[in-house]
Amino acid sequence: MSEPGVPNVSAGFPPLERMEISRINRSRTGHWTVLACALIVLLVLGAEALRWSRAAHAAARPSMGSIGPAARATLTELSHTHIPAPQGMPSAHASALTPLAGDGMLAFWWAGSRESGPDVKVFASRWHNGAWSAPWIVASRESLGKELGFGVRRIGNPVAWTDRSGKVHVYVVATGLGGWAAARIAHIVSSDSGATFAVRRVLPTSPLFNTSALVRTSPVALSDGGWWLPVYFEIGNKYPMLMAFDADGNPTSLARIGHSTSTLQPAIVPVSASEVRALMRDDSEQMRVQHASSRDGGASWKDLPALDLPNKSTSVAAIRLTSGQFLMLHNHIAAGGSDRNLLRLSISDDMRSWRTVADIAKGPAGDEFSYPTMQQVGNELHITYTWQRQNIAHHRYKITLGESI
């Protein structure tokens, strides 16, 4: 029998010749098959070898930046205000900050008629000379869908990072078919300090149609100019992950943080060049700020006992000051209060014992001051958070070293 698709050139010949021709045909096809297979295997081998020879093989460690010897710091409030809200957008949530060259800064958040509404967009505002600019649109489901080539159903949390070359990378939650559990992460990049953005890709984070990966907390600098992006999964179980990027903003690895199935939104803080801690939102009945550590520069993680701080499934923010102390913004639960009506700033020398610095915002039960973010820019600490789901509030503190808080 001749191979499918191979013309039967033996027709019309006597049986003996026909069999011989058929054998020759099979032999020829066999030779071509061997040749094609060998060529494909060689191409696969060559492509992988070339890629491997060009890749960086050492995982980058977290950058300790300009953290000096341990010193006490004093925080003095300089101002507090609301970032100008876009017109006709009554709902706002999930702010992110990233510093620009000089003392400039960009804030990103989403705003729209309501959470998950079709009109929700990611907005940005620039901090310059002590004031926020008018907001502008950074991403919408229409703009993302147009560049990605497939639909985006809803827009969620943005997270921002400025790389060494000044490019601004924003990671935006963009869902597929479904709720937040169907979320994907779109990576968009600006080369003009946030004025315009182009979609780079959707980050691959899950084999389930690449769904259920979200971002919320700030990236962390690495020693090679790259950064870590905290990510989390949330279909049913919830767990935190970490995606590493090189200095050009290309992902280099993805790993899970710990073994917990009820923690999310990890706030990553480097303790030393090898030790890193993660403080996390708790979705369990324990209702405490959850805690994990890595002693090998983020390669493997171990769950630690929860902190003695309440957390009723609310997002936390944490940074290490250049003084060496750790700051955390978290929703405290006071007697008679609710989950998110009190936003507290706490400080620690060891990330285990925390003491209160100030209550940044508080109101009666049912009020909401949530989803905090903070950045140290020079000798100033900038804090933004969701104010009553209507605005993004901004507080600015002066950091003075040498005195205790």
Partner 1 sequence: MTLPDLALQIVYARLGWAVVAATLVTALWRGPALTRPVLAAIMAAALVAMALPGELSPAWWLGLAFQYPSGLLVGCCALRLFERWHGIRRSRAMPHTLAGVLVVCGTLLYLDTFGLLARGFYYAGFWPVLTPLVAVLGAAACALAIVRGHARSPAAAMLGAIALFALLRLPTGNLWDAMLDPLLCGWAVFTLAASALRKSGRRATDPVAGTPESPRAPVMQPAPVEQFSSVKE
What is the contact surface with partner 1 in residues (CB under 8 A)? 4-5, 15-16, 19, 30, 33-34, 37-38, 40-41, 43-45, 47-49, 51-52, 55, 57, 145-153, 176-177, 184, 199-202, 204, 206-211, 233, 235-239, 250-256, 259, 261
In terms of CB distance, is 44 or 334 closer to partner 1?
Answer: 44
In terms of CB distance, is 34 or 137 closer to partner 1?
Answer: 34
Q: Give the number of other CB atoms < 10 A from CB of residue 147.
A: 16
The CB-of-47 to partner 1 minimum distance in angstroms stands at 5
Cβ within 8 Å of residue 80, ≥6 positions away: 393, 394, 395, 396
The CB-of-263 to partner 1 minimum distance in angstroms stands at 10
In terms of CB distance, is 12 or 207 closer to partner 1?
Answer: 207
Question: For residue 42, is it left (φ>0), alpha (ψ between -120 and 50) or beta?
Answer: alpha
In terms of CB distance, is 67 or 235 closer to partner 1?
Answer: 235
The CB-of-240 to partner 1 minimum distance in angstroms stands at 10
In terms of CB distance, is 69 or 236 closer to partner 1?
Answer: 236
Residue type, 256: R
The CB-of-300 to partner 1 minimum distance in angstroms stands at 10
Query: Can you name the residues that pair with 190 across neighbouring β-strands?
Result: 168
The dihedral formed by the CA atoms of 244, 248, 249 and 254, expressed in degrees to the nearest 10: -20
Q: Report whether 226 contacts 238 (CB < 8 A).
A: no
Query: Can you name the residues that pair with 57 across neighbouring β-strands?
Result: none
Q: Report whether 36 contacts 232 (CB < 8 A).
A: no
The CB-of-299 to partner 1 minimum distance in angstroms stands at 11
How far is 218 from 225, CA to CA, in rounded Å?
A: 16
In terms of CB distance, is 15 or 336 closer to partner 1?
Answer: 15
The CB-of-160 to partner 1 minimum distance in angstroms stands at 20
